[in-house]
Each structure stands twice: as C-alpha cells, then as structure tokens.
C-alpha cells in the first residue's frame, strides 16, 4: 500500500512556511550571536538508557525508540536541554559558557491541536551561572528574543518550584504522590489535588496553601500574598528570590511585561528554581518556556548550575499569523531573462549579480512575455536581447 499522508503529529514544511522559518531562524541566530551565545547541536540519535536511567528520566511512552545494528535501544532526541547537559558534563570545560541551538526534538505523545511530535526549537542555555542576576538576565533575553520574532502583546509569567516544594516539605508524601499533586495543581484541578492530600492526612494549613496556588497569579502583589500563606522557609526564600529577580527586571525596564503564576508548577525533579513561560492571548499554549535546572548535569557526572529557555518556532509562526504580523514573501533582487541566442551573456550577468550578493532568479524561458511574468517576483526585471540590456 502506498501511503500519501504523514503520521499524526508530523508535517511537511512547504516552501512558503520554510522560507518564514528560515527567516525567523536567521533573526534569532543573529540575536544569539550578538549576545555571546555559541552554537551547539547534539546528535539526533541517542541511547535509550541516556534518558531512561537518570534521575530526570523521560517517560518511555514519550520517546521514539528503535534498535541499533548491535541490538542496543536508540531514541530520537526527546529533550534538547538534557542533551546539552550531557555535552556540558562530558565534553566541555569548567568555565561558564553560554550555548544556543536550533534543533528538532521528538515527542511520541504530541499529536493533537497545535502540538506536534516533531518540534523545531530555538533555545539558549547559560551553564555555570547562578543567582538572581543570571535568572533576570535570562528572562530579559527571552523577552528580547520574543520581540525579535515580531510578536507583540505577550507576557512572561514567572514562578518558582521551591515554593511548591517548601509547602509540601514534611508532609510525608511519596515522590510519586507529590508529582501527582503537582500535575493536578498545574492543571488547576483542585478537587483531585485535595483528594490526594487528604488521603495523606496533611495538615489543614498545608492543604489550604496548596489549594490556594491556582489563584496565585497576577502582578507583584501575588508575591506578598504567597509569602503570607506559609511559614516554610524554603517556600518563603523562593518568594524572596522572585522579588529580587523582579526588582532587577523592573530596573531593566520590563515591569509591564512580567507577571507571576505560582500555580504553574513544573516537574519537581527537573527544575530547581525559577520557571517562566511566554504567553499570548492568541495562542492556547506557551511560545517560550524555560527555567533553572541546576541538577540536570549531575545525571552525567558533573554539577553545573544552569538556566535557559526554548522557543517553539512553528508556534511562533502560528501566533504571528493570528496577529497578522507574518512578513510578506521576500522578492528576489533581480530577475534575468534573455532572448534566444543571448544565453551566454545572460548567464554571465547572472553570475556577476550572484557574486555581488544579490538574490537572483534566472527562469528557463525566453523573451519579453517571460520577463513580464517575473514582475511581482523580483524588485527589478532585466531582459537581455540582441540590442542589449533593458529594464522592464
């Protein structure tokens, strides 16, 4: 049977969209380079054990698996940040380094709505950095990168996994139950979160604080409310850290771009501190996601504090389209057309234009009618005939 369709969750990228993606990539690459980030790219194929036998294991049902010729199990890269943590721990020196990447990651389960199984990302990782200033710089750079794409009207929501961890400290919950509560809180499902907590006989004060998390979103006033809800020192320190980061961001000029959401709780084993997302009203999913993950490289033999973020490039294109901000298709600088018998002169002129850095089209057609068909495809149309060169 001949299959003419692709599997669910993957798409062909046609010329117009591919051109837009390449333009977006070029703009972001320039921004990354100017900011001192060095490019890196991991192998698309890795060993299954690399992601399944670590503390921050990727769920096996999310990974595309295949068998190598020697019988070892391989996967398509399921997480770029983990891949960079592996590279940093095993192949880079000890000095702080800032890395950037453009790469696909593959998610076996991402096959619905605007989700995808093949996700083209741009991202940065700041390795060997700690502290509120590093966190603030990373959030500020994320904002500037979103601006670079042409998006407007976005906000960046900040949270901190230490707040949730601190609230649950001493509750006696297993790691599995804590993760279940986290998922329910993140989904704003207070009923199921309460069911697990009551089953574990947690204190009423802890229960009330956890159930209050979904409402802890908004401006800076959220931080004062969050601090008043708990006496746990880890949770209160998380709030103080967010206040320090926010103060720096305000001083940088981002007061109106940043909000807070302490009910957006990410994976507790993966993230170690601040977390953030770039959100727009035109899209029902983040276009940017990041945070601090100081323990990821520990899985590969070296402790390297780190913070970074990733941007979903196809989601950004969807958002730009909905904001009616997609750039028009770019025109060639010159179209070169010739009459029969003038192919050599036309081709030499075409090569000269290319050597000058011009974008040139040279259609395999002759005459004035062919030249007129190039109108709208190039800024300038040149017809080379027996009488010489003419601009139409």
Q: Which helix or strand (DSSP H or E) is residue 167 part of? A: helix 161-168
pTM of the model: 0.89
Alpha-carbon span 159 to 266, nearest angstrom? 9
pLDDT at residue 383, rounded to an integer = 93
What is the largest distance, in Å, between two alpha-carbon atoms of the chain? 94
Residues in the chain, pLDDT under 50: none
CATH (residue range 15-322):
3.30.930.10
User: CA 262, 268, 274, 277 torsion: positive or negative?
Assistant: negative
CA 154 to chain centre: 15
Query: Residue 360's beta-bridge partner residues?
Result: 334
pLDDT at residue 110, rounded to an integer = 67
Alpha-carbon span 199 to 176, nearest angstrom? 14
Q: Are 35 and 145 in contact (CB under 8 A)?
A: no
- Residues 339-368 have pLDDT tens digits of 999 889 999 999 999 999 999 999 999 998
Query: Residue 390's beta-bridge partner residues?
Result: 383
- Residues 178-223 have pLDDT tens digits of 878 888 877 777 788 888 888 777 778 878 888 888 888 899 999 9
């Amino acid at each position: 049977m001949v299959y003419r369709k692709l599997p669910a969750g993957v798409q062909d990228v046609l010329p117009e969209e591919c051109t837009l993606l390449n333009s977006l990539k070029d703009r972001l690459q320039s921004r990354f380079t100017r900011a001192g980030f060095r490019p890196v790219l991991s192998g698309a194929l890795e060993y299954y054990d690399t992601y399944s036998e670590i503390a921050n294991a990727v769920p096996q049902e999310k990974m595309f698996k295949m068998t190598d010729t020697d019988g070892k199990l391989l996967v398509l890269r399921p997480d770029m940040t983990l891949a960079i943590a592996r590279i940093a721990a095993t192949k880079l020196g000890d000095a702080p380094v800032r890395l950037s990447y453009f790469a696909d990651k593959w998610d076996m389960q991402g096959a619905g709505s605007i989700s995808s199984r093949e996700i083209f990302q741009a991202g940065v990782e700041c390795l060997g950095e700690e502290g509120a200033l590093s966190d603030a710089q990373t959030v500020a750079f994320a904002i500037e990168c979103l601006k670079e794409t042409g998006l407007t009207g976005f906000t960046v929501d900040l949270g901190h996994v230490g707040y949730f961890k601190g609230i649950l400290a001493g509750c006696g919950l297993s790691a599995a139950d804590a993760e279940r509560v986290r998922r329910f809180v993140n989904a704003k499902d207070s009923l199921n979160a309460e069911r697990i907590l009551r089953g574990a006989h947690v204190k009423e004060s802890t229960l009330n604080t956890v159930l209050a998390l979904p409402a802890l979103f908004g401006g800076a006033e959220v931080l004062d409310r969050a601090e008043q809800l708990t006496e746990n020192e880890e949770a209160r320190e998380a709030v103080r850290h967010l206040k320090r980061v926010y103060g720096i961001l305000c001083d940088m000029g981002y007061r109106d771009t940043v909000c807070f959401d302490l009910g957006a709780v990410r994976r507790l084993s993966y993230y170690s501190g601040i977390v953030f997302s770039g959100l727009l009203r035109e899209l029902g999913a983040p276009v940017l996601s990041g945070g601090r993950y100081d323990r990821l490289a520990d899985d590969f033999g070296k402790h390297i504090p780190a913070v970074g973020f990733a941007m979903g490039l196809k989601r950004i294109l969807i958002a730009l389209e909905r904001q009616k901000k997609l750039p028009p298709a770019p025109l060639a600088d010159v179209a070169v057309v010739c009459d029969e018998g003038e192919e050599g002169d036309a081709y030499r002129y075409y090569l000269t234009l290319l050597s000058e850095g011009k974008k040139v089209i040279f259609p395999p057609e002759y005459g004035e009618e062919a030249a007129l068909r190039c109108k709208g495809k190039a800024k300038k149309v040149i017809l080379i005939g027996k009488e010489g060169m003419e601009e139409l």
